[in-house]
Amino acid sequence: MNACGGAIAAASKSAPWAGAEAVAEPAPVWLFAPIGRDARLLRDGLAASVADVRIATDATVLRRALSPAGEIGVLVLTQEALNGDVLAVVGDYLELQPPWSELPILLLVDAVGNTARELGRFQAALPRSRTLVLQRPVRISELESAVQTMRRSRLRQYAVRDHVRRQEALRRELNHRVKNILTTVQALHTLSVGEAADLEAFNESFEGRLAAMGEVHQVLYDADYGESDLDGIVEAIVRPYREVGRVTASGATVVLGPEAAQGLGLIVHELATNAVKYGALGGRGGRVSVRWRRTGERFSLAWTERGGPRVRPPERIGYGTRFIDMTMRGYSGDARFDYSPDGAKVVLEAPLATLERQA
């Protein structure tokens, strides 16, 4: 007896829903029907609604199809395929399949009276299988409908798999970022302790730097840790001074990658803190201008202080200067510090490509 019985010729090859609801999932439908032309007849019957139907010629081929590396949409077996080897192959797959997977199996059998023994054996060997049993002869439209329903269910399983993988990737990325943040905060702590004269000075500098990191993080978070505009980063740091008219900031549009956004944000924080302690933002009447521009492939930013106390060059290179210098060198650029008596000026330069890079 053939797999589908005599109904094949009479059945429509284009069921009304076929094609219109074609399943996008590329996972193939595998057939194992070892008797006569059954496999080819089944494949031809499904050809109108399923693009990828493959035939397993023996248990070895079936084992390859069911390997963890392969993807399988639906497994179609005929009653004659249920030998010990095949049951072992399918049983192994069901046993080892991941939690999101429940391989749909379509089993084509003769009238129940003739197949009770085979069915019993199948159910005993594969208690975890999700199997639909159709009795032959099967109309082609019935076969197509069953396979499409099972493929949709399988498609959903693959969607769950992809979701789980994305979640796992996000979890790993989050773990990596948290470790980096903790290490950065630890470094900030170490460096702030190293330069502070006393606990009060440490508290002030450490809290300020941590808060600046928080401000920059918020801007980056709002940009989904992608591109963020330099104007937004500068604004987040100098907002308190800008609001009272002590700082003016403007420049060309420069879209920063996350690393450069954090680096430049912390640099501006160091410059602002220094200006409050020793420069134009300390007393009354001082002003700071922050201007940046693009010149060809280069970026430059000038931090210029005016109207503050008379400036004297620092006696030693402190944390701020070292951090600014090291960060700009990391961007293949540099920082120039000019301590003119009437106001400090710091000019940062770097290739735009380094600052705009996303990775």
Partner 1 sequence: MSRTILVVEDSALIAMAVATELERSGHRVLGPAVANAPALELARKTPPDLALVDIDLQGGDSGAELVRVLHAELGVSSVFVTGQGAEASADIAGALGVLAKPFKLAALRETVVQALAYAEGGEIPATGGRTRWF
Bond from prior residue into 137 cis (ω within 30 degrees of 0): yes
Assess 334 for contact with partner 1 (CB under 8 A). no
Pick one of 263, 265, 286, 333: the residue that binds partner 1 (CB under 8 A): 263
C-beta of 96 vs 174, nearer to partner 1: 174
Site string for partner 1, 191-230 (x = CB under 8 A): x--x------------------------------------
Q: How far is the CB of 131 from partner 1 (least distance, A)?
A: 39
Nearest to 301 by CA among 340, 342, 256: 256
Assess 179 for contact with partner 1 (CB under 8 A). yes
Q: What is the secondary structure of 197-228 as a DSSP string? A: SSHHHHHHHHHHHHHHHHHHHHHHHHTTTS-E
Q: How far is the CB of 197 from partner 1 (least distance, A)?
A: 17
Pick one of 114, 175, 203, 250: the residue that binds partner 1 (CB under 8 A): 175
Assess 182 for contact with partner 1 (CB under 8 A). yes
Calpha distance 218→27 (Å, rounded): 42
Stretch that binds partner 1, among 122-130, 182-190, 198-206, 286-294 (CB under 8 A): 182-190
Reduce the DSSP state of residue 262 to 3 states and report it: helix
Assess 186 for contact with partner 1 (CB under 8 A). yes
Pairing of strands 343-351, 298-306: antiparallel
Count of residues of this chain found to bind partner 1 when the rule CB under 8 A is applied: 26
Asked if 158 contacts 71 with a C-beta cutoff of 8 angstroms, the reply is: yes
Name residues whose C-beta falls within 8 Å of residue 11's C-beta, 6 or more positions apart in sequence.
45, 139, 140, 141
Q: How far is the CB of 350 from partner 1 (least distance, A)?
A: 12
Stretch that binds partner 1, among 48-56, 126-134, 172-180, 310-318 (CB under 8 A): 172-180
Calpha distance 303→242 (Å, rounded): 14
Calpha distance 272→332 (Å, rounded): 23
Using CB under 8 A, list all residues that contact partner 1: 175-176, 179-180, 182-184, 186-188, 190-191, 194, 259, 263, 266, 322-323, 326-327, 330-332, 354, 357, 359
